Structure 1
Amino acid sequence: MSRVLGVILAGGRATRMGGGDKGMLPLGGQRIIDHVVDRLGPQVGGMALNANGDPARFAGLGLPVLADSLPDWPGPLAGVLAGMDWAAAKGADAVVSAAADTPFLPRDLVAGLQAAAGPSGLALAASRDAEGKLWRHPTFGLWPVALRDDLRAALEGGLRKVVIWTDTHGAGTAEFGAEGFDPFFNVNTPEDLEAAEALAVRA
């Protein structure tokens, strides 16, 4: 099986939470990002964190901190690219991304993405809402490092929307079932954090 590394995307500005690092907020006796690390870590051969600004604030995690290689907050694809470059330097074949504010991500995320990978090796995670509509989650994907130069060129050309690039490369869609709630529930607002506290008891 190919060697897969993980990258936790924490490069956003968290404007709906008043700024700062959402992943560092307390949840269920830990921080949100600790839940992400606990769930993703066993699935990959190593992890890094994509974040901008002073990396010292994440020192307690013991993870490499990768800044975006492109300026002006170009979005999650820049974090994916940073992860792909890091994974390539480590000799890995692919990287799996996960958002730092999503504490209940599937414990079989990597296996599900690998099983659904398209011809290029790309895959995005997806789940269904209460009405049964399937939603893709672009910050949760399997990204072959062989495509990193193509992604870099696309970003330098102004591309920002994840699914435009992944659709161009025929990405597969890995559907994950709910466990009484959406496993990709993410904390964007103070109200979401309250809801996550209730979910943490069940997760």
Structure 2
Amino acid sequence: MKQPFGVILAGGQATRMGGGDKGLLKLGEQSILTHVIERLSPQVAGMALNANGDADRFAGLGLPVLPDSIEGFAGPLAGVLAGLDWAAAQGGQTIVTAAADTPFFPGDLVPRLLLAGEGMKNPLVLAATPDAARGRARHPTFGLWPVALRDDLRSALEGGLRKVVMWTEQHAGREALFPHADAFFNINTPDDLTRAEDML
């Protein structure tokens, strides 16, 4: 299988941060998004950013900016669809998504997702970590997604589906378990940003 393309999901509304783009906030000497780009780029064949509104605010990153094609903030699956359509135009077979507010995700994200998807006709895998209460926690913004299912996803979104796991389970999606519970620590609040500065 060809190396997947990478799509960074930055389409959220960041309400707990007071709005705006969380990914453009500074973490250390650079933006959170720059940390995400540096982690993802060695693992993928090429990258794009899913974001809505004026694309010029991301001009300094040098990435194509893909808006949602589904109206009205349809959640992460709309960003996945935008990424799948973009990858299809590049001749890609799969994409791997990463969230724009999660700067410390594993450096072996893509190899582990690919390994978990081996043998699947249409590899569809979400990242998961151990969780004391639930056994494991899924991280639906970090996944491996097949271009072949993009029209199915479009139909599901147009029909009102919004929950990532509902759609992945319809297609016998798998999980890739990452051992560290905080591997996908994301920055939602000012306190989280302070904690991320300490982690850095």
Q: Which residue of 1 aligns with 2:7?
A: 7
Q: CA deviation at 1:29?
A: 1.3
Q: CA deviation at 1:177?
A: 1.7
8 Å CA contact 1:32, 1:101 repeated in 2:
yes
Q: How does 1:54-203 map to 2 (within 5 A)?
A: 54-117=54-117, 119=120, 120-129=122-131, 133-178=135-180, 182-200=182-200
Q: Which residue of 2 aligns with 1:47?
A: 47
Q: Distance in 2 between matches of 1:129 and 1:123?
A: 18
Cα deviation digits, residues 38-63 of structure 1 (max 9, x gap):
00000000000000000000000000
Cα deviation digits, residues 10-32 of structure 1 (max 9, x gap):
00000000000000011021110
Q: CA deviation at 1:128?
A: 1.5
Q: CA deviation at 1:191?
A: 0.5
8 Å CA contact 1:102, 1:185 repeated in 2:
yes
Q: 1:92 to 1:184 in 2, by over 3 A?
A: same
DSSP-derived class of the 1:194 partner: helix
- The one-letter code matched in structure 1 to 2:152 is D
Q: Percent identity?
A: 66
Runs of 4+ in 1 over 4 A off after TM superposition: none
8 Å CA contact 1:129, 1:182 repeated in 2:
no
Cα deviation digits, residues 132-179 of structure 1 (max 9, x gap):
83100000000010000000000000000000000110111001122x
DSSP-derived class of the 2:39 partner: helix
Q: Distance in 2 between matches of 1:132 and 1:159?
A: 24
Q: Distance in 2 between matches of 1:182 and 1:130?
A: 12
Gaps of 5+ in 1: none
